Amino acid sequence: MQANVFHKLFLWLPFAYHHTSNGMEWNYLTNGKTWTDLCATGKQQSPIAFDIQKTRELKSPRIYFANYNVELKGPIFIKNNGHTISMDIPATINGQPPFISGGRLRGRYLAKGLHFHWGSPNSNGSEHTINNRRYDAEMHIVHRNAKYIDIIDAAEKKDGLAVIGVLLEIVKEPIAIPTGLTKVINAVIETPRDESNTTIPAGFSLDEMIGNVDHNDFLSYDGSLTTPLCHEAVSWTVFTQILPVSFSMVSKLWKLRDHCNHPMINNFRDIQDLNNRPVYHRFGRA
């Protein structure tokens, strides 16, 4: 009972919105080409195609990943919301929230949830591309500016949200897949359909979702949520290094069903116009 109340409060963005303003449930059939309102008219939309040659060097300090190395306090709630698999991020076993600060961010951004975008057996499905390359999948860790009340409130503000993007690539024999990521993806067999959910014991930290990818080398720009209503509230940080994963891991995602009971595949949005926005690259160094 208590768990239910808790999880209702945690129906967090971007997937609190199942409908566009005309009442239609949105989908990925055209990878977002038919989405309306700000998704169609916005000038600071995401994802974008990163062209490393055209980035500006970011001289800011590194991003500080606070409590990312501390085990999360379980149980951890995982849900098929009809568009993706999402995981609520609880506090750590020390009772502290994981958060990020530094880089181009002002203030603290609390880690609230994570989810994935992926392709199909025949197509890659990362949202961002780097030098015209689309990767197999992309993980988003969504953070809310600590000064706002909740994620819905934060989505209305220009400095409301900060998302960390991690690109995933299938390789033949990945050396070390992060243990947390393995646990979360293994759990999706329990969430085959829209609204199905499960809990897993924690026993891992957010760093164990990301693995050894260099946290200090990243691409950064100001953009939007990549799902309706496409709020332009996101400071994006996409790690330049790619996280190697296995075929068997990503193939578990291809077997899920979406809100129409269709295969949940290719749940990524098309590349959006940059519209002269600056894109920054911070090179790996402490």
Using CB under 5 A, which of the segments 19-27, 132-140, 148-156, 193-201 binds Zn ion? 132-140
- C-alpha span between 80 and 190 (Å, rounded): 9
Per-residue mark of binding to Zn ion, 137-166 (x: CB under 5 A): ---x--------------------------
- Are 281 and 240 contacting, i.e. CB atoms less than 8 angstroms apart? yes
Give the residue ranges of DSSP H helices in 105-256: 151-155, 179-186, 207-210, 247-254
Is residue 238 classed as helix, strand or coil in its secondary structure?
A: strand
Helix (H) or strand (E) holding 2: helix 2-9
Cα–Cα distances (Å) from 182 to 45, 95, 245, 252, in that order, read 31, 24, 9, 11
- Find the part of the chain contacting Zn ion (CB under 5 A) among 135-143, 251-259, 260-268, 269-277: 135-143
Taking the least distance from each CB to Zn ion, the nearer of 46 and 92 is: 46
Cβ-proximal residue to Zn ion, closest one: 140
54 C-beta neighbours (distance < 10 Å), count: 11
Min dist. Cβ of residue 141 to Zn ion (A) = 9
Cα atoms in the 13 Å half-sphere on the side-chain side of 186: 10
Q: Which of 83, 115, 128, 215 is catalytic?
A: 83
> 140 vs 144, which CB is nearer to Zn ion?
140
Q: How many residues of this chain interact with Zn ion, rule: CB under 5 A?
A: 1
117 carries an active-site annotation: no
Provide the minimum distance between the beta carbon of 61 and Zn ion in the complex, in angstroms, as a whole number: 26
Q: Among residues 140 and 143, whose Cβ is nearest to Zn ion? A: 140
- Residues identified as active-site: 83
For binding to Zn ion (CB under 5 A), which residues are involved?
140
